[in-house]
Structure 1
């Protein structure tokens, strides 16, 4: 798996006895809500799947409930600016943390596009499959099949969420967007029917913590990072900024569309983070 390694990960801070108590209480509450609701979701899918087939008019509300509850349990403040689009299409956002899944699901009913290895992660993979995540393999031989899956989901009215950076960062920057994933919107006439909405996700660390507190990248293990977030007495906040959606056919190619989304999302991140993100730009060879 390719990960961003532009900055060294901070050393894991120790968790004191009180922190373990807080982490245990929050973890128990979050686990109860998540897996308790999952049981209801799976039971509902037994009715929903044969009646509505590819459409899921009911179960996404349960996923949204869990994600909203997670912020209450963790104590992370949550603010939304703008509105999710009503047009058919997809969401593209910057990727900073495993928290992005909760963040973007809490304010809208969406389905994520994720690399296929996530499907094999203990616990998380099971949740991702149950909630309708689309898994993609980094294998050119499967490109055509994956294209068909994207098209089918988009035509079914599913609002897919893409992370065009291809990996997560420390939350202080936006990495170059890979135009490859945007190709799904330029096939079989989808470009004349679909819109793309750029979304900026901005994390603000708890008072006294370094700015990258919620970032998850490189070789950082999920378990310790998850525990650190659970154990924090004082939590920070997250902003979700919905930008104006754009028609796919307003851009002559996937590269122009990817560039517009990248610049829009980066500008909002830098405006919110100020000096912490000022001048932080990633460069590299443009993806095909």
Structure 2
């Protein structure tokens, strides 16, 4: 049986009309993203000394930028359920770099990402500016990372975790790894936190490869971005917010991880 991770989509030819769409959409998205970044950094100069680790204002800019970017791209956007209003964190399946925009568009969250992302050109700068928490996969860093998670959660930040550990081709959900769920079971946090599972489902444009929005393995980001910008039409993404789960309703991280995975899968086609 062929490993889906080794499969690749056929290259897409971009004609003159496609390049025109790249210029128009890419220019508009670039202006929105980096214009928003400049505004965010300017406001952060005031927000940081007054509020410290808390960010009561700047996440609204991130959310607005992501909403506009999704609209400029032409991606249909549907939501079911509502983001929770109680303190806690969010877990979701991970399909594409687009998840950054589609998840931020509906709520004010802070992503938890692998440390390598911090060094990516362009994306790394945006991630750091918007408060992304970078983690090192080394086991020796586990306690340090758990303290960092606790600090951010106690500051009222809604952290978003991808328990699969990697992105997919949008056609599957991988088993959830329970390691990061340990962050919700320390120093009494489990008694105040809720975890909200969220399902992302991308639907490709009619006639395109069902994996059109997927970004996995060693796929090139630049080529994938150009393909999406050049597309004459787009499909949609469906974001399903499941009922929040109280962390103290489980004896430990494995039970909580299993429940969240089951809820995320419940809104995903078999």
- Which TM bucket (shorter chain)? over 0.9
**1:104 — aligned with what?**
103
The residue correspondences of 1:213-224 to structure 2 (distance < 5 A) are 213-224=212-223
**Cα offset, 1:5, TM superposition:** 5.0
**Cα offset, 1:144, TM superposition:** 1.2
**1:14 — aligned with what?**
13
1:160-193 Cα offsets, whole Å, 9 max, x none, are 0000000000111110100000000011111111
**1:164 — aligned with what?**
163
The residue correspondences of 1:75-86 to structure 2 (distance < 5 A) are 75-86=74-85
State the SS of the aligned residue for 1:219: coil
**Cα offset, 1:90, TM superposition:** 0.3
User: Aligned partners of 1:174, 1:9: CA distance in 2, in Å?
Assistant: 18
**Cα offset, 1:11, TM superposition:** 2.2
1:194-230 Cα offsets, whole Å, 9 max, x none, are 0000000010000110111001001111000011010
Q: Does 1:225 align with 2:224?
A: yes
**1:281 — aligned with what?**
none
**1:27 — aligned with what?**
26
User: Aligned partners of 1:7, 1:203: CA distance in 2, in Å?
Assistant: 20
The residue correspondences of 1:261-280 to structure 2 (distance < 5 A) are 261-270=260-269, 278=270
Q: Does 1:71 align with 2:70?
A: yes
**2:202 — aligned with what?**
203
Kindly indicate whether the alpha-carbon contact (under 8 Å) linking 2:9 and 2:209 is maintained by their aligned counterparts in 1: no
State the SS of the aligned residue for 2:17: helix
User: Aligned partners of 2:115, 2:163: CA distance in 1, in Å?
Assistant: 15
The residue correspondences of 1:238-249 to structure 2 (distance < 5 A) are 238-249=237-248
User: Aligned partners of 1:10, 1:37: CA distance in 2, in Å?
Assistant: 33
User: Aligned partners of 1:106, 1:90: CA distance in 2, in Å?
Assistant: 16
Kindly indicate whether the alpha-carbon contact (under 8 Å) linking 2:191 and 2:248 is maintained by their aligned counterparts in 1: yes
Kindly indicate whether the alpha-carbon contact (under 8 Å) linking 2:59 and 2:108 is maintained by their aligned counterparts in 1: yes
State the SS of the aligned residue for 2:207: coil
**2:126 — aligned with what?**
127
For normalisation by structure 2, the TM-score amounts to 0.97
Kindly indicate whether the alpha-carbon contact (under 8 Å) linking 1:67 and 1:103 is maintained by their aligned counterparts in 2: yes
**1:282 — aligned with what?**
none
State the SS of the aligned residue for 1:269: coil
1:49-95 Cα offsets, whole Å, 9 max, x none, are 00000110000010001000011110111111100011110000000
User: Aligned partners of 1:71, 1:229: CA distance in 2, in Å?
Assistant: 11
Kindly indicate whether the alpha-carbon contact (under 8 Å) linking 1:177 and 1:259 is maintained by their aligned counterparts in 2: yes
For normalisation by structure 1, the TM-score amounts to 0.91
User: Aligned partners of 1:219, 1:267: CA distance in 2, in Å?
Assistant: 29
Kindly indicate whether the alpha-carbon contact (under 8 Å) linking 1:5 and 1:217 is maintained by their aligned counterparts in 2: no
State the SS of the aligned residue for 2:267: helix
In the alignment, structure 1 segments of 5+ residues that lack a partner are 271-277, 279-288
